[in-house]
Chain A
Amino acid sequence: MSNTGMLKSSLAKKYFMALTGLFLCLFLVGHLLGNLQLFVGGEEGRLAFNNYAKFMTSNPLIKVMSYITYASILFHVIDGFVLTIQNKKARPVKYVVEKGNRNSSWGSRNMALLGTILLVFISTHMMNFWWKMHFGDMPIYKGVKDLHTITTNFFNPNENVMAGGAMALYVFAMISMSIHLSHGFQSAFQSLGISHPKYSPTIKMIGTAFSILIPAAFASIPVFLYITQA
């Protein structure tokens, strides 16, 4: 059996889904640590955040990581799309009555829907910040692109009439991410065959904590910026 056969198999698609998903979990941690600097106010916070943003867009090692991240998102989306199409095809006639909630969590059954919400969020999120930082007309503060002002103004109701809506959508996206992660994190280990009575409960526990803490911390930032600037 050649390895090309393996790559086509349903299991290989799951391995890719798991590996890209787990890499994106790592990315989330890194991204969050950077974002948390927005809690530091004043001149000090502004300079630190702007210098951090400059570092993130210029350091060669970070650049390599960012390309792996883009590729992971792309593969995760395409693979997820292919899996969903195949899975829909596998049951052309639906049940008249089906009680999925009796045997599985809502999140586990709606990963594609949650993933689509996240894809829309990532697209708008990148247009609002990533695109501006890379290609947009950015204000310069003390010789560095002033992403701090762009970000804080974005969630400032006195600067942006859409700030409230943006905050609400951000929080909604983080709730979707939380549900997506609550299934995805532990599911990735199962797909890779990493399952044992000794450590599986720990993986599940870490997955639950990860799926609550990371999105909650992300969501707290726009809420904080909105409330403190209102």
Chain B
Amino acid sequence: MNITLKVWRQKGPNSLGSMETHQMTDVSGDMSFLEMMDVLNGNLIRAGKTPFAFDHDCREGICGSCSMFINGEAHGPGRNVTTCQLHMRSFKDGETIHVEPWRSSAFPIIKDLTVDRSAFDRVMQAGGYVSVNTSGETQDANAIPIPKHDADEAFSSATCIGCGACVATCKNSSAMLFVSAKVSQLSLLPQGKPERKERVIRMVDQMDLEGFGNCTNTGACEVECPKGISITNIARMNREFLSSSLTSK
């Protein structure tokens, strides 16, 4: 298949960017989107031009590195897939495909399609951890009884790979889906109980400091999330934050 690509080109964090057009011929439908981008970069290098910078790592949908806003949607038109799991057969022959970076003031562009997502790391550092006993007699996690429902919920929240698609998709660049998934995962389990109240307050404070927008419950994030994280996590965080704010010392 033949496609027209319009890809965001931006030299550095402070430069002005614009869309650059490239024609791609003989694209296989079995290629992943990133493999197609590799071919484009190969062509550019052979022609003595600068390839496009983009993040990628595992290429099997679990690392959360790839981050492209394709044809107006985070990770493209597919559901429950990351960019690396998106195949070119999802597009039509002759189609024009727009590729942009995540856009949010909290995710500044480093170059082309690469953005700085360290804001997520700082939110995690603020409270996304649990205390463990280091006396040498650490209890086996399996020895702690956990209701099946809680374990399932925590696991489903833990599938968040921190790619930032929720922020990229949200019209307000809100990070609520990410932060609420992390808060939920840790607060649902007994291991997360000691820091439970402080955790949600600290993580929300850091989220606000980073300049993410406010959640207006459009629900767009859960539709575009490659891991299908539900906005019931956001409701849980709203509850946790309210009760923690009212009861913490």
Contact = CB atoms under 8 A, between A and B. Distances in A.
A194 B235 CA distance: 7
Nearest to B240: A193
Interface in A1-56: 1, 3, 5-6, 8-15
B171 A5 contact: no
B213 A91 contact: yes
B100 A90 contact: no
A125 interface: no
A193 B242 contact: yes
B72 A190 contact: no
Contacts of A109: 171, 218
A58 interface: no
Interface stretch (A81-89, A137-145, A210-218): A81-89
Contacts of B171: 87, 91, 100, 104, 109
A97 interface: yes
Given A14-B215, A105-B218, A90 B173 contact: yes
Interface in B1-55: 6, 8, 17, 19
Contacts of A108: 216-219
Contacts of B202: 1
Contact of A95 (B69, B220, B234): B69
Contact of A89 (B105, B208, B217, B240): B105
Given A1-B198, A194-B235, A9 B208 contact: yes
Interface residues of A, number: 42
Contact of A1 (B77, B169, B201, B207): B201
Given A11-B204, A92-B105, A95-B100, A102 B213 contact: no
Interface string A97-116: 11110111100110100000
Given A9-B205, A91-B173, A14 B214 contact: yes
A86 B213 CA distance: 6
A193 B236 contact: yes
Interface string A60-76: 00000000000000000
Interface in B137-186: 169, 171-174
Interface string B65-78: 00001011100010
A109 B19 CA distance: 26
B241 interface: yes
B248 interface: yes
Contacts of A103: 73, 169, 218-220, 223-224
A195 B205 contact: no
A230 B15 CA distance: 64
Interface of B: 6, 8, 17, 19, 69, 71-73, 77, 98, 100, 103-106, 169, 171-174, 198, 201-202, 204-205, 207-208, 211-220, 223-224, 231-232, 234-242, 245-246, 248
5 contacts: A90-B173, A96-B6, A108-B217, A183-B217, A187-B216
